[in-house]
Structure 1
Amino acid sequence: MKKISGIFLLSLLLTACGQTEEKDGQTSDNNDPEQPIEVEMEMAEKAEQGEEVEIGAFVTQGEEKVTDANEVLFEIWKEGDKAESEEFLAEEPEDEKYSITHTFEEEGIYHVTAHVTARGMHSMPTEEITVGQSVEKTEDNGEETDIHAGHQHGSPVTADLQSPSELKAGEEMEISFQVAEEGEPIRNARVRLEIWQKGDETREWVDAEEESGLYIASHTFEESGDYMMTVHIEDEEDLHEHVDKMVSVK
C-alpha cells in the first residue's frame, strides 16, 4: 500500500513539474490575442517614371514580428482614378518583410494600400508616392491642381451602428450604419462589411446599399458569439477608410 502511495505521489509531482515547465516555455503563445496587428510600410516617397520600385510592409503584433499572415495584398492607384486600381499579392516574407516590385509607367501621385489579414485581424495603411519630375515642380510652385482634390487620408471617419444592439444567430439581420467624416454624412460611397470571428482564416464580405442616409446590409450570422466587423468606405474622390467594430450575436 505504501509502495502504491509513493508511486501516486511521484506521478503527481512529475505532472506538476511538467505543467510548470510548459508554462515557463510558453513564450510565443503568451502574446495577447486581443493585441492588434500593426503594419509599417516601406516605400520611397519619390520615383522616376518607368523606374522599378520595391514596396514592402513589416507586420507586428506587440513586440512579435508576424511572418504568418494569411494575406498581404498591395493595392495601387493613381490619384483621381481609384476605379482603375491594381492589386498585387505579396509572396512569403523575406527578412521578415512582405514586398513586391512595381513599375510606375506614368507620372503622377499614386496611393498604395497594404491590405494585411493576419491572426484574425485586418489592417490597411495607405502611403503616397510621387512619380516624375513635372509633378514635383507643380507642387513646388504652389499651384492648386485637381490632383490633390478630395478627402485626406487619416481624416476622422466614423461608422455608427444603427441596428438593434442585439443580433440573433441563424436569422437574416439588417445591419445599418451612419457613415460620416468630421460629423458630416458621407453620401454616394461604396460601403462593404468585412465580417469574421476571431481566429477565422476566412472572411465574409457584404455590400451595403445607401438608403435615407444610412448604409444597410443583410447578413446571417451562423452561430452566436462575438464578431469582428470592419466597415470599408470608399468614394470616387480617393476616400479609402475603414472603421473596426465588434458586435455580439446571441
Structure 2
Amino acid sequence: MKRRIWIGLIVIVLGLLSACGNSEKETESEPEELHVLRVDFDLPEHAEVNETVLLKAVVSYGEEAVKDANEVQFEYWEQGKEKDSKTINAKNNADGTYTAEVTFDKDGIYEIYAHTTARDMHSMPKKSITVGNGAAATHDEGHEEGHEHSSTEGFSMHFEKPDSVKQNQKVPLTVHLQLDDQPLVAANVRYEIYQDGSEKHDWVDAKEAKSGEYSSAHSFTETGKYTIVIHVTNDDGLHEHQEQEIEVVK
C-alpha cells in the first residue's frame, strides 16, 4: 500500500516538473515578429518634357515580396495644383513590383504619390520630379484647395475626396496619414465642416479603421460648397491640418 502511495507521489511530482519546464519554454520563446507594409518608390529626380517616365513601386511585407496588392495607384500633379491631380493604375508584374508610365507636357516640378493598399494597410510614399527647366508654379498657398499646412518633417496626409456628394446622404470621410513613410497610428483626427459665411461649424471625430487610416461619415443638410478642415494631433505634439472643398448637390 505504501509503495503505491510513493509511486503516485512520484508521478505527480514528475508531472509538475514537466509542466513547469514547458511553461518556461513557452515563456522563453520569442514573440511573433510584427511586420509592416513597405513601399520603395523608384522615381528619377529629373526628366525632359514629353519624356516617358517609369514609375515603380517595390512592395514588401517583412521579407516577403507582395505579389497580390489590393491596389497600387500613382497620383501626380504640378506643384501647387493638387486639385488638378491625375491618377493612373499600376501594372502588377507578379514579382512584388508595380509600374506605370507617364509623360509631362511642360516644365515644372511635379509631386507624385504611390498609393498602395495591401495586407489591410495603406502606404503612400511621395516623391517629386523636376521636368525640363523646373519652373515653379506660382499660387496663393493660403487659398489653394487641398493645401497641407505641414510643419512636421516626413508627415503626409491624403484625403479620399468623395466623387459625388448628395444632400442629406451620409458620405464616408477617409484620410490616410503617414510619418516617415510609415502609417501614423494612434492620432486624433477631427473633421471641421462648414459653409462660407456660416457661423455653424460641425465637428466630426474620425476613428482609426486600419493602421494609419481614419474614417467617419457625415450628412450634409444643405446644397452648395463646403470646406472641410482635417485636424490631426497626437500625444507627441504633432499638430497638422489640411483644407478641402466639396460640392453638395440635390
Q: TM-score, structure 2 length as denominator?
A: 0.49
- Whose radius of gyration is greater, 1 or 2? 2
Q: TM-score, structure 1 length as denominator?
A: 0.49
